[in-house]
Structure 1
Amino acid sequence: MIPDSPITTVHLDDDADLLTLSREFVEQAHETITVEGYTEPDAALARVEEGGVDCVVTDYKMATMDGLTVLRRVRELDEDLPVVFFTGKGSEEIASEAISAGVTDYLRKTTGTEQYRLLGTRIATLVERRRAQERAAEADRRIREIYERITVAFVAFDEAFRFTYVNEHAERLLGRPAMELEGAVLWEKFPSAEGTAAADALRTALSDQRETHVTDELDIGDEHVHVELHAYPSEDGVSVFVEDRTEAVHREAELESLRADLEMTEQQFRTLHQKLSRPASPFR
């Protein structure tokens, strides 16, 4: 997919004629791409530092600075900026070093104009990939922000019941940090959950692809908790809202005990009242 929004590319090469050809043919083949040519590495790096650059193309062998040094300098400025080695100097050793240093792509110079159209396609593809990753990261950030505003415990599982998300309320309920749980399988981290109504509800929700709600008692660590669980399935997993009702259940039990005590007191009061209300026997 070629992106529709403009792409600014810094192309560094000590051959000015090659830069002219690169700009002409890349921009001709890809109208969204603008190529800014530089023969001096420091000038190209200053332009990258200035911002607004979507991709860097650099030669490997240059008079004042080699491509690996340029790459490392770019990585200091931006860890994810696409960097393409476009060079006539090629070897497995150089390619290996470039990959280790964080190069995004590696393209050998050839003869003819087709190489520039290919270069333009690589640039467009790499930039769109980075933009898609940024959009995905932003969407994930917003989703997590929403999840963290949920006032009950929320966890998400994939189809193998591996934790994929755990909010702060769930961390407190489960007694473990999200970083320890995410990626782990529910049954391995909490084996006592097996065989419970909650476990059956989760499996039913995923297998039948229907919302499932259940109330259950669970042993989590040293705690015995009463929970109300609401499971919402999707094709790739299940989202679960868990309300900790332990305090509410304890309060209800206390109220019930008070009611029982009150009923007993009232009965005792009525009995005593009846006794006191009877006339004294003259034979006593």
Structure 2
Amino acid sequence: MTVGTERDRGDIVRVLHAEDDAQLGALAGEFLERAGELSVTHVEDAACALDRLAAEEFECVVSDYDMPGMTGLEFLDAVREEYPDLPFILFTGKGSEEVASDAISKGVTDYLQKETGTEQYAVLANRIENAVDGYRTERELERRVDQLRESERRFRTLVSNLPGMVYRCANERGWPMTFVSDGAEELTGYTAAELKADAVNWEQDVIVEGERDDIWETVQAAVDAREPFQVEYEIRTADGERKWVWERGRGVFGNGELQALEGVITDVTEERELREELRRERDLTRQLLETSPVGIMVNELDGTYRLINDRALDILGTTREVALDRTYDDDEWALQTPDGEPLPAERTAFERLRSKAVGSSPGDDVHVEEILHSVVRDDGERLTVSVNGAPLYDDDGDMELLVFTVTVVDE
């Protein structure tokens, strides 16, 4: 039997009525269904009742006391063993105080003595509905408590697996913490308990001096705008180690008032060092590019220019703005062979390299060398250039760009 399933108020209540007098049981069922939103199933002894409970769903049991094979109290014991919270009402003509006392001690939900007349069934129907209302309320509360516990379990699992620390703090200088996840110790060297105590001031003891005012102003601006904030700053751990952290959080509001700040802080020291290394590499590449004694041009696969260094601009006698607005075969270049014949597109260094590189991968030796072109500078002078080229691939190994070097022949 499934008990305690979620139902809306006003649903029909299924009642199991154990009564050895078949005529009286049928009469009770008829009057109970008239008196309330009840559906009554009648059985003539406790053994049959237990079989029905195991096979079907009921929200209340009504039982007589004197029944063959098992008394109402023995039936109550059996029900409580399997269904400890199911409403059970003892409805009996045996009205001794001893029976009532035993029934209460065994966990009966209600006790009602049979009387003459049909009015008693209205009373019984009311007792059933009240008992089931309480039963449903308890089941709903249990369901919500289980949901809260599951939600808390999931939250703790999530928090424990997040890199860094999750926090809740007051929005005031010092950032006093009211909740800190266990990841704080690995990040800062301080335990969660220490960070929640007055012994550790996040602003003064953790954040490196020089960062504090900027962080405060950034957070306050975001809170005022009711938007998330993110800051990157340097901290000093409990043992004096310096780390860079990234923090993202937002204000928590209730009734229009700021209640706290919540967020997550992660260690980005390695990422910051990698970014700095990449920046240095970009700067070095830029310096090499601009100080190269040969012209360098980088083309998109559609023939437009991605990059041209200063030496290439000097050779072509043009400006970066003009060159970036052209393609490799732009009419302004007036491309010819060294013999003065028009240069077919398939013989240009660009097309020869692109067609050769189609389907290639980074491990392939794909390049073109010493392709001679006659080109017209912006000042009208025609000169012959030698072009070398090779493809550049993206992270997936697909051809992304074509890179060329240009030198003047017999300069």
One fold, TM greater than 0.5? yes
Aligned partners of 2:77 and 2:106 also within 8 Å: no
Q: Is 1:256 paired with 2:276?
A: yes
Greater relative contact order (CA < 8 Å, ≥ 6 in sequence)? 1
User: Secondary structure at the residue paired with 2:115?
Assistant: coil
- Separation in structure 2 between the aligned mates of residue 27 and residue 219 of structure 1, nearest angstrom: 74
CA distance in 2, matches of 1:186, 1:70: 51
SS of residue paired to 1:57: strand
The one-letter amino acid of 1:168's match is: T
Asked if the contact 2:163–2:266 (Cα under 8 Å) also holds between the matched residues in 1, the reply is no
**Identity %, equivalent residues:** 25
- Looking at structure 2, the residues matched to 129 and 72 of structure 1 have their Cα atoms a distance apart, in angstroms, of 21
Q: 2:266 aligns with which of 222, 245, 260?
A: 245
- Give the whole-Å Cα distance in 2 for the aligned partners of 1:250 and 1:115: 79
Contact 2:22 2:44 in 1 (8 A): yes
Whether the aligned pair in 1 keeps the contact of 2:110 and 2:127 (CA below 8 Å) is no
Question: What are the Cα deviations for residues 7-37 of structure 1, in whole angstroms up to 9, with x where unaligned?
Answer: 221111334454344223321211x212222
Q: 2 CA distance for matches of 1:144 and 1:116?
A: 41
1:29 aligns with 2:35: yes
Match of 1:193 among 196, 213, 219: 196
Match of 1:108 among 100, 105, 112: 112
The separation in 2 between residues aligned to 1:28 and 1:220, in whole angstroms, is 75
CA deviation vs aligned residue, 1:229-263 (integer Å, no higher than 9, x gap): 3454557xx8997445334x541244235536876
- The number of aligned residues is 228
| 3-state DSSP of counterpart to 1:256 | helix
The aligned counterpart of 2:57 is 52
Aligned mate of 1:14, from 7, 16, 20: 20
TM-score where L is the length of structure 1: 0.56
Q: Which runs of 5+ in 1 are unaligned?
A: 148-154, 156-163, 176-184, 198-207, 271-284
Deviation at 1:43, TM superposition (A): 1.0
- Matches of residues 87-98 of structure 1 in structure 2 within 5 Å? 87=92, 88-91=95-98, 93-98=101-106
Q: Secondary structure at the match of 1:56?
A: strand
Q: Which amino acid aligns with 1:64?
A: G
* Alignment correspondent of 2:86: 81
Alignment root-mean-square deviation, CA = 5.0
1:60-209 aligned at under 5 Å gives the runs: 60-87=65-92, 88-91=95-98, 93-99=101-107, 103=108, 105-112=109-116, 113-132=118-137, 134=139, 166-173=155-162, 186=179, 190-193=193-196, 196=202
- CA distance 1:110–1:69, change in 2 (3 Å): closer
CA distance in 2, matches of 1:221, 1:37: 73
1:228 corresponds to 2:251: no
Query: In the superposition, relative to structure 1, how do residues 72 and 230 fare at CA in structure 2: closer, same or farther (>3 Å)?
Result: farther
Distance of 2:273 and 2:120 partners within structure 1 = 78
Q: What are structure 2's unaligned runs of at least 5 residues?
A: 1-7, 165-177, 181-191, 204-222, 291-411
Distance 2:77 2:279 in 1: 75
> Matched residues in 2 for 1:68 and 1:97: separation?
10
Q: Normalised by the size of structure 2, how large is the TM-score?
A: 0.42
CA distance in structure 2 between the partners assigned to 1:58 and 1:29 by the alignment: 18
**Partner SS state of residue 166, structure 1:** helix
- Partners of 2:276 and 2:148 in 1: how far apart? 42
1:42 Cα deviation from its structure 2 partner: 0.9
Structure 1 residues 264-275: aligned runs within 5 Å = none
Say which structure is richer in helix: 1
User: What letter corresponds to residue 161 of structure 2 in structure 1?
Assistant: R
